[in-house]
């Protein structure tokens, strides 16, 4: 039968505590790049009169 040692529990908690902010900042970075790229595309779009 599997029994979790205290070390494994601590590693799991630390991994979760560091993983959540890491995922958030990765998502936020990708979002910033996407929003800035979209604004650049709108700014350089050809205008038909």
Residue 48, domain member (yes or no): no
Q: Domain for residue 46, yes or no?
A: no
In a domain, 23, yes or no: yes
* DSSP reduced 3-state for 37: helix
Tell me which residue range forms the domain holding 35.
Answer: 1-41
Task: Tell if the pTM clears 0.85, that is, is over it.
Answer: no
Report pLDDT for 44. Answer: 65
| Count of the separate structural domains present in the chain | 1
What string of pLDDT tens digits covers the 49 residues of the chain?
566 688 899 999 999 999 999 999 999 999 999 888 887 776 665 666 5
Q: Is residue 30 part of a domain?
A: yes
- How many Å apart are CA 41 and CA 48, to the nearest integer? 15
- Classify residue 6: in a domain, yes or no: yes
Q: Domain for residue 24, yes or no?
A: yes
- Rounded-to-integer distance, Cα 31 and Cα 9, Å: 33
* Residue 1, in any domain of the structure: yes
In a domain, 21, yes or no: yes
Q: How many CA atoms lie within 13 A of 27 on its CB side?
A: 6
Q: Which long-range contacts (CB under 8 A, 24 or more apart) does 42-46 make?
A: none
pLDDT score of 48: 65
């Amino acid at each position: 039968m599997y029994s979790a040692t205290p070390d494994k529990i601590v590693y799991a908690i630390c991994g979760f505590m560091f993983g959540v902010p890491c995922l958030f900042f990765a998502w936020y970075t990708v979002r910033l790049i996407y929003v800035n790229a979209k604004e650049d595309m709108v700014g350089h779009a050809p205008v038909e009169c």
